[in-house]
C-alpha cells in the first residue's frame, strides 16, 4: 500500500527525421498523456533505421526531454523491423525458465544468421502451442549489437536510463490495441493494413485480430515532398521543410506539388498491398486501412486511398480516448498524433 510507485517509461521513437517522446499515466481506467515532445534531427543523423551520429541524436533526445517537462529518467526505444529477427519456436512446457534459456542459447544459432557474439537477443513465452498441447510457443527476438548499443548510448548520453529495447512492429501492435476500439466490431476478425509513412521509409504492417502477420518496409516518405517543393520553388531543403511545416507556400502548391505527391503515396499503398497479396497464401483481402506517420496528416489523403483501394481508410489517433494532462497542448498533440504510434506503444510498456 505504501510501496514505491512504479516509474513510468518514456517511449522514445528515433526516426530518420525526428525524435518523438511520450509519457503516459493511468487514471480512472484510462490512459493519460502526461508529457510529450517532438524534436527534429539533423539530416542523415539516422539513416535507414541506423544511428550514424550518436551525439546529434543524444542532443535531440535531451532537447525533447526538456521541452516535454517530464521528470522520468527511464526510457524505452525500438529497433526497426528490418534490423530485427523474430521467430516463434516451440519448447516442452515442462522446462523451467533456466532450462528454457539454456535450450534457446543452444539452438539460437540455427535461427540467427549472425555469430551470437554479434547480436543481442531475448525471448518471451507467448503461451500454449496450438500444435502440441505439451509445448509452449516462445518468441525469440534478436538484433545486431550495434543497432541496440547505439540506442543505449544515445539515451545514456542524454541522461536517461534505457530500460527496454523493443521491435517497432510489436510497438505498433501494442498501440493498435487502442485504435481497434474505434473500428467496426472493435476490430475483431478484421484484417487491417497499417501504413506508417515517415520521412523516408513507408512500413506496412498487416494485423489480423490485432496481431502482426506481415511487415515490409519500402523507400518512400515525406522527404520526397520536401524535395519536390525544393525543386519546384527554388528553395533550399531547409527552407522547403520550414515552408511545408508552416503551410506557407504559393497558391499553386496543392495542384502542382501536393496532388502529385498524394497520387504517388496512393500508388505506394496499392503496390504494397499487391505485394502482400502475392506473398500470402492465406490473406487475399484487407478490411481496413489505417494511415500513420507524418504523411498521414496530409489533408484528403485518406479519402484518395479509400477511393483507389475501395477499402475504408482512416488516420490513426491513439490519443482519441485518452485524458490529456494540463501541460499538453491539444492542437499540437492532435497534429502529431498519427506519427506517435511507436512512441505510444513503447510508453504503454510502463503498464506491462
Q: Residue 165 — very low, low, confident or very high, per pLDDT cuts 50/70/90?
A: very high
The cell for 147 is: 543497432
Per residue in 271-292, pLDDT (tens digit) is 999 999 999 889 999 999 999 9
Q: What is the mean pLDDT of residues 50-68?
A: 96
The per-residue pLDDT for 1 is 29
User: pLDDT at residue 4 above 70?
Assistant: no
Mean pLDDT of 12-32: 93
In 3D space, the residue among 293, 344, 312 whose CA is nearest the CA of residue 191 turns out to be: 312
Integer Cα distance of 226 and 236 in angstroms: 10
In the beta sheet, which residues pair with residue 136? 91, 128
More confident residue, 105 or 270: 270
Give me the domains of the chain, ranges plus CATH numbers.
84-145 (3.30.1490.300)
Exposure string (b/e) for 150-164, b if CB count within 10 Å is 16 or more?
bbbbbbeebebebbe
For residue 332, the model assigns a pLDDT of 92
pLDDT computed for residue 180 by the predictor: 87
> Residue 256's pLDDT is what?
95
pLDDT score of 298 more than 50 = yes
Segment 221-242 shows an average pLDDT of: 93
Sign, CA torsion 94/98/102/107: positive
- The pLDDT tens digits of the residues spanning 180-221 come to 888 888 888 899 999 999 999 999 999 999 999 999 999 999
The residue-averaged pLDDT of 307-314 equals 96
Residues 6+ apart with CB under 8 A from 251: none
pTM, to two decimals: 0.92
Yes or no: say if 312 and 288 are a contact pair by the CB < 8 Å rule: yes
304 within 8 A of 266, measured Cβ to Cβ? yes
Looking at residue 324, what is its pLDDT? 93
Residue 324, judged by CB atoms within 10 A of its CB (0-12, 13-18, 19+), counts as middle
pLDDT exceeds 60 at position 5: no
Please check the confidence at residue 163 and state whether its pLDDT lies above 60: yes
pLDDT-derived band at 2, boundaries 50, 70, 90: very low
Model pLDDT, residue 6: 58
pLDDT in tens, 139-159: 999 999 999 999 999 999 999
Amino acid at each position: 500500500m505504501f510501496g514505491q510507485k512504479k516509474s513510468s517509461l518514456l517511449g522514445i521513437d528515433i526516426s530518420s527525421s525526428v525524435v518523438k517522446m511520450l509519457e503516459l499515466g493511468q487514471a480512472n481506467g484510462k490512459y493519460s498523456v502526461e508529457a510529450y515532445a517532438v524534436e527534429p534531427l539533423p539530416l542523415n543523423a539516422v539513416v535507414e533505421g541506423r544511428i550514424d551520429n550518436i551525439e546529434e541524436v543524444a542532443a535531440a533526445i535531451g532537447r525533447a526531454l526538456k521541452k516535454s517537462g517530464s521528470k522520468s529518467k527511464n526510457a524505452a526505444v525500438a529497433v526497426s523491423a528490418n534490423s530485427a529477427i523474430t521467430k516463434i519456436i516451440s519448447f516442452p512446457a515442462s522446462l523451467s525458465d533456466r532450462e528454457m534459456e539454456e535450450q534457446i542459447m543452444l539452438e539460437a544459432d540455427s535461427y540467427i544468421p549472425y555469430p551470437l557474439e554479434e547480436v543481442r537477443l531475448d525471448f518471451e513465452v507467448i503461451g500454449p502451442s496450438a500444435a502440441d498441447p505439451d509445448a509452449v510457443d516462445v518468441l525469440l527476438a534478436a538484433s545486431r549489437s550495434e543497432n541496440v548499443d547505439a540506442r543505449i548510448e544515445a539515451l545514456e548520453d542524454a541522461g536517461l536510463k534505457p530500460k527496454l529495447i523493443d521491435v517497432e512492429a510489436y510497438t505498433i501492435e501494442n498501440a493498435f490495441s487502442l485504435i481497434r476500439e474505434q473500428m467496426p466490431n472493435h476490430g475483431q476478425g478484421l484484417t487491417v493494413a497499417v501504413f506508417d509513412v515517415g520521412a523516408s521509409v513507408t512500413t506496412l504492417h498487416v494485423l489480423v485480430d490485432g496481431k502482426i502477420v506481415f511487415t515490409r518496409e519500402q523507400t518512400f516518405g515525406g522527404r520526397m515532398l520536401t524535395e519536390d517543393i525544393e525543386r519546384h520553388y527554388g528553395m533550399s531543403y531547409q527552407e522547403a521543410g520550414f515552408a511545408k511545416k508552416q503551410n506557407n507556400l504559393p497558391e499553386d502548391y496543392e495542384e502542382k506539388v501536393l496532388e502529385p505527391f498524394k497520387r504517388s503515396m496512393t500508388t505506394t499503398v496499392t503496390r504494397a498491398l499487391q505485394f502482400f497479396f502475392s506473398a500470402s497464401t492465406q490473406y487475399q483481402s484487407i478490411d481496413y486501412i489505417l494511415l500513420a506517420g507524418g504523411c498521414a496528416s496530409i489533408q484528403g489523403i485518406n479519402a484518395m486511398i479509400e477511393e483507389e483501394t475501395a477499402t475504408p481508410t482512416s488516420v490513426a489517433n491513439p490519443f482519441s480516448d485518452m485524458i490529456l494532462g494540463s501541460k499538453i497542448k491539444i492542437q499540437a498533440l492532435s497534429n502529431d498524433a498519427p506519427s506517435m504510434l511507436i512512441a505510444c506503444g513503447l510508453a504503454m510498456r510502463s503498464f506491462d
